[in-house]
Amino acid sequence: MKRYETILIADANLHDDEQNNLIVRYSGIISSRKGILVKADNWGKRKLAYEIKKQNKGLYVLFEYAGESAIVNELERNLKIDDKILKFMTVLIAKNIDPVALEKELAEMQEKKGTTAQTSEHTGSSEPPAGAEISDQEKENA
């Protein structure tokens, strides 16, 4: 089993429902091929570095998943024929991963999200609890 990351740029003019349907559709392709979806992250609309298909803005979406190469083939085949997709790129992150270890990592991430949300509710602030790690992206957004 290998771990992949696919980033796609979709048409920025999509409504919220269409954005959600897009994420659900491609997440479903990964799941239906017995892949493990680690993360599906909507980065939002951003200005493109250069014009793509006469568009200056695009909706960025990140999919991080694990599975066999057949998943990548099917996902990319669907991305190529979808008119809403401007561009995409798939990157191999790790070659040999242990599915059990990945499931454990996912469970820990869910648990961490749950405790962070509970702590924020009790303190009334959006600050992470003491000792929690903050990613570089979260630091930039703060």
- Would you kindly state where each structural domain of the chain is located, as residue ranges? 2-94, 99-141
| Cα–Cα distance for residue pair 32/27, rounded to 1 Å | 9
Phi-psi region of 67 (alpha: psi -120 to 50; beta: other; left: phi over 0): left
pLDDT of residue 129: 44
Residue 97 pLDDT level (bands cut at 50, 70, 90) = confident
Contact status, residue 120 vs residue 45, Cβ threshold 8 Å? no
pLDDT of residue 118: 55
pLDDT of residue 26: 93
User: In the predicted model, is pLDDT for residue 131 greater than 80?
Assistant: no
- Read off the pTM: 0.72
Candidate from 12-16, 63-67, 113-117 with smallest mean pLDDT: 113-117
Domain at 2-94, CATH class: alpha beta
Candidate from 8-12, 98-102, 116-120 with smallest mean pLDDT: 116-120
| Cα–Cα distance for residue pair 83/127, rounded to 1 Å | 40
Half-sphere exposure of 40 (CA within 13 A, CB side): 15
| Cα–Cα distance for residue pair 64/22, rounded to 1 Å | 15
Whole-number Cα distances in Å, 126 to 67, 89, 110, 123: 35, 33, 18, 8
